[in-house]
Amino acid sequence: MFRIRLVSPPQDEGRQREGGGRSTFREHRMPYIIAEPCINVKDRSCVDVCPVDCIYEGPDMLYIHPDECIDCGACEPECPVTAIFPEEDTPPQWKSFIALNRDIFQSENPPGKPQRKGS
């Protein structure tokens, strides 16, 4: 069962950046983030249920791609360590993971697609 959250669309989506290029990543909001409990766990149950394959694997943890996530919520209840949160529900001690999940995809070494558990 999917949980549906109604959110109003961002006011600046698709805005032009200085120099004419489009903004590649949402700078205003992350639908879901993966936080500290995932570090050195990487269970991948969330990967198996994601309908759009937006969860990527880094060296220590998994990450949700901000531009690919459709905000369906399928991943959240599957996480055995309760590491997945909607951005607005991220516990205070893990708020830094919001920027980490967004910024990792802009780094020189972005995470790659993980294999599904059943593969």
Is pTM, for the whole model, over 0.85? no
Residue 103 DSSP label = H
| E strands present in 22-94 | 32-34, 55-57, 62-64, 84-86
Note the CATH architecture for domain 32-106.
2-Layer Sandwich (3.30)
Q: How far is the C-alpha of 111 from the C-alpha of 88, rounded, in Å?
A: 24
Angle, CA 60 vertex, CA 54 and CA 61 arms, to 5°: 30
pLDDT digits 0-9 by tens, 37-61:
999 999 999 999 999 999 999 999 9
The two structure tokens encoding residue 88: 């607005």
pLDDT band at 117, cuts 50/70/90? low
**Structure token pair of residue 18:** 């200085």
Do residues 79 and 11 make contact, with C-beta atoms less than 8 angstroms apart?
Answer: no
